[in-house]
Each structure stands twice: as C-alpha cells, then as structure tokens.
Chains A and B, each alone.
Chain A
Amino acid sequence: MNPMPPDDDDSRALAPPPPVSRVADRARAPGPRLGPDVLKRVQERDPAALAEFFETYFDRVYALVSRLLGDRTQAEDAVSEVFLKVHRAIDRLDPARDPMPWLVTIASNACRDHWRSGAERMRRAALPVDDPALRESLTSGANEPERDLIRAEREQAVRAAIAELPDDLRESVLLYDYADQSHEEIAAALGITHDAARKRHSRALVALGRTLKERLA
C-alpha cells in the first residue's frame, strides 16, 4: 500500500464542494455528523478531534468504498488513501458544512484510481469473502436458518448484480441508494450536471432491476 499524494485530478475533490441547496431528491435520514466546534479543531489537526472525525465518518466511507470496489483488500487500500488525502487537505475543511459530500468525492476519486489500476483484475477475479455484516446477518435470526439462507442468497445476488454494472452506473446507484447522497451532491462530486446524475441513476436502477428479475425469478 503506497501513500498517494494528491494529484491534479484530485484538486476538484480536495476543494470542498460548494454548498448545495439540499433540494430533497428524497427523504433521507442524515447520519451522525460533527458540529462546527469539533470541525474547527479537526481543521487545526487536534488529535482528539481527528479521532472523533474518524469515528464519525470512517464506517460510512469504508462501506461505500467497499461496495464500490467489491474487494476487502482494495477497499482497505483505497480508504487509507482517502484518509491520507483528507489529512493533507484538512485545513481546507469548512467547519460550517457537513464534510460527508467532500469525503464521498474523495472516496469516489480513489475508487476510480483503483478501477484504472492493474489491481482491478484481482478484484474481477477474486470472490468477495468474509463480509462481517453478512456473517452477522446470518446469525441474527432466531434460529431460522432457511430464512437466513434465502436472505444471504438474495444479498449475494444483489451484490453480484451491482458488481457487474459498468463503473459509472455502479457508482451512481451506490452513491444515491447506499451512501444517501442526493443527485445534486452526486453531480457536484462527479463533475456532471444534476440532470445527468439523475438520468444516470435511473439507468443504473433499470439495469440492476432487469438483472435481478432474471436471477431472482
């Protein structure tokens, strides 16, 4: 795992995106977020605040990157790069805004770097394994192994269908439906228009729905 200094391609990501009007594309439950006071201390690289920042946002960033890349090892590499870039650009953080869209932008760019890299073939070749969330879901039922099995198979089918989507469609559906980003935030993160983000998301859902109709029929 090599630390990757921010390059020109990431300059867009490293400047926090402009505030969005938060027009509700849909009702979303916001995840936990830090207040301006803590973010100000994060900006000053206060170790306690940095730890709090990490605790607040790491899980969401990891979950997104993991689903985008579909491989645990690559996800760990990419998430390490994300937090390295965040650390380098933290003084440009705006304490008045939710940093999540900024993190999503950096995470998306990191995943694109991985898609372009030679390591991609490993992801294509290797099965995703050892997903603690899936393992937990298998044991969370009250001794209902049949139901757990059906659910696990369905989850596996959904993950496989998402993994087979073209990169841009997979990115779209995961950013919106998994990472709870609005079309406006996705447009800002990907450097496309709001309308293009909305259409791309619609295409992704149709493609995903068709694949699942064939497989889960």
Chain B
Amino acid sequence: MSHDIHESDPADETRGREAARELSAALADPGFRARLEAAFASGAIDPESAAEDAPSRARPVHARRPGSGFGRRLAALAAAAALVLVGAGAWEFNPGPRWQVAEGQQAHGNVLIDGEPVPADDFGSVDDALVAGSTIEWNGDGDLELVSRGQLALAIVPGTRMLLPAPPPRWFARTCDGRVESGEIRLTSGSRFHGARLTIATPQASVVMTGTTLAVIQEPAGTCVCVLEGSVHVMAGTHDMGMVPGGQRQVVFADGRAPERAEMRPIERVKLGEMRTAMAAALEKPSRD
C-alpha cells in the first residue's frame, strides 16, 4: 500500500473518509462487559488502589451521619479489606493454569518453540518454553500432548506448525486465540473450561469452541474441523458456517469451493475418542509446579 501523497487524488480522500464512516460499531461480548462493569463499579478492578486508599476514601467524601462511630469505621475497614481480598485474588489468580506437557506422554524428538529446539521428553524445559503466542513446530514421533490443568488438553500431531493460545483465564475475559498454520491439533476441554471460549484460526477458517472435543486439520486444500461431541462455531472469513454438531465435520476449501458438511470419518472419531479418554486423567492431575 502506497502512502505517497504527492500525487494524491481528492477522490481517494473522499473514498477513504466515506469508507471509514461506514464502519459498523464493534460490540463487546456481553459477559466481558458485565464482568468489567462489576469490577469497575465495585473498585475490585484496582486492588492496589483499594489497599492504599480505602481508609482515606472512607473519610471525607460523604458527610458523616451523627452516631457513626467505631462500628461504622470497623464496617468500612472490613468492606475495604474484603474488596482488597476479592480484587487482589481476582487479578493475581485470573490467568489460567499455564501449559505443561501432559504426564505420561510418549513423544520423542525436538519441538521447535519460537525456533529454539527443545527435547520433547524434557518436560521441565518444554514447560518453561511454553508461552502464549509461541510458535510451535512439531515433527517428532508421536503426538505432543499439552494440558492447562482442568481446562484444556491439546494434542499436536507431527507435521504441525501453530501459535499457542493463552490458557483461558479463570474469571475475567475468558477468551483466548491460537492459530494452526499447517498440520493437525486435537483439543478437549476439562471441567474448568466451562464459560470460556477458545478461537482457533486457520488460513481459511476460524473455529470457536466453548467446551467440546474436536480436531482442526489444516492441509493445503483447506481446513477440516471434526467435532466428536458438543458443537463448535465455524466461520470462513465473514461467512458464518454455523454450529458444527458432534459427529460431523466441516470442510472449508482453500480454492473457494463451496464448504462441505459431512459425517466425521471413522478414523478421526477413533483418534478423538482415544485422545479424550487419555487426556481425562492428565487434565485433572496436579501441576508439576
């Protein structure tokens, strides 16, 4: 895109202005909006400030009623302490359990994390290198299995290149995004994923899961989303493919052919079933921290 304005055409400026003003208003997720409003109005959004200023805030802002004394002061202090505890807890512990290698996984070889090779069987080193947004390239033996305790299990099939999503936060802004450039991943949600939303983008599609077991397969011909149970929302650019129910697969082709919805292949059904069973235990195991 050129930004040389020496030969600018007034029509370009007009076109740009009209286009910018046509943009629709971006709307927030209602759940996020409600949570942030509650935190903002109550003061829980800022535990530091509540800790430092709560006693002084309780003093001059409102006129004191006659008869208020030790009880009111005690109540104010108790309220401030509760706010501090709730707020501090919310902010400190909101990030979800970090990604770790699943206990008992059998993968061998080097996994490239942001271009750095890390032995897949050196769980500690892999754990340390796994950061939200990392580029992961896996070409070793067996599936590389990762878990965010209680929330998500992720199996990365050899031949996959992807961006690792952040683990879903526990309470606020429970959304996260990842991307699959090539290859295949399988995902299954744990009990604590409830209420969260994970979006996996591919070159052709976006897949939104809110609790299910599915596979996202990215090949040169396009994206295939296989849903074992529950349902996932699939978008191809701005085209809404709707919800893909359990037992179905949605294919979005790279060459622009009409998308296909069909029964899931038996092989994927088996692989996803095995993954769900194997990961059920790993999801609930305590963290290595």
Contact = CB atoms under 8 A, between A and B. Distances in A.
Majority secondary structure of chain A interface residues (helix, strand, loop or mixed): helix
A83 B45 contact: yes
A104 to B, nearest CB: 15
Contact of A202 (B13, B42, B201): B13
B26 A76 contact: no
A188 to B, nearest CB: 21
Given A137-B24, A155-B22, A213 B45 contact: no
Nearest to B208: A130
B177 A177 contact: no
Using C-beta atoms within 8 Å of the partner chain, give the interface range for chain B: 35 or more
Contacts of A153: 238
B20 A55 contact: no
B172 A210 contact: no
Contacts of B32: 76
B274 interface: no
A103 B242 CA distance: 36
Using C-beta atoms within 8 Å of the partner chain, give the interface range for chain A: 35 or more
A38 interface: no
B235 A130 contact: yes
B25 A59 contact: yes
A84 B87 CA distance: 12
B1 interface: yes
B74 interface: no
A207 B16 contact: yes
A115 B53 CA distance: 32
19 contacts: A54-B36, A73-B176, A88-B46, A88-B49, A129-B235, A130-B235, A132-B27, A132-B29, A137-B24, A138-B238, A152-B238, A162-B20, A173-B20, A178-B20, A202-B13, A203-B5, A208-B19, A209-B13, A212-B15
Given A66-B28, A156-B238, 17 more contacts: A3-B91, A47-B43, A51-B41, A54-B37, A54-B41, A55-B37, A76-B32, A87-B40, A122-B163, A127-B201, A130-B199, A135-B240, A173-B16, A178-B20, A208-B20, A209-B16, A211-B1
